[in-house]
Amino acid sequence: MERIDLVMFGAEGVVESGGIINKIGTYQMAVVAKAANKPVYAVAESFKFLRQYPLNQFEAPNKHKYTNPQPSDFSRHPLVDYTPPSYISLLFTDLAVLTPSAVSDELIKLYC
Q: What is the pLDDT along the chain (112 residues), one digit of tens a residue?
A: 789 999 999 998 899 889 998 888 999 999 999 999 999 999 999 888 887 767 666 666 665 555 555 556 555 667 788 899 999 999 999 989 999 989 888 888 877 7
The pLDDT of residue 72 is 60
Q: Is 19 exposed, middle or buried (0-12, 13-18, 19+ CB in 10 A)?
A: buried
3-state secondary structure of 108: helix
18 Rama sector, left if φ>0, alpha if ψ -120 to 50, beta otherwise:
left
d(C-alpha 55, C-alpha 37), whole Å: 23
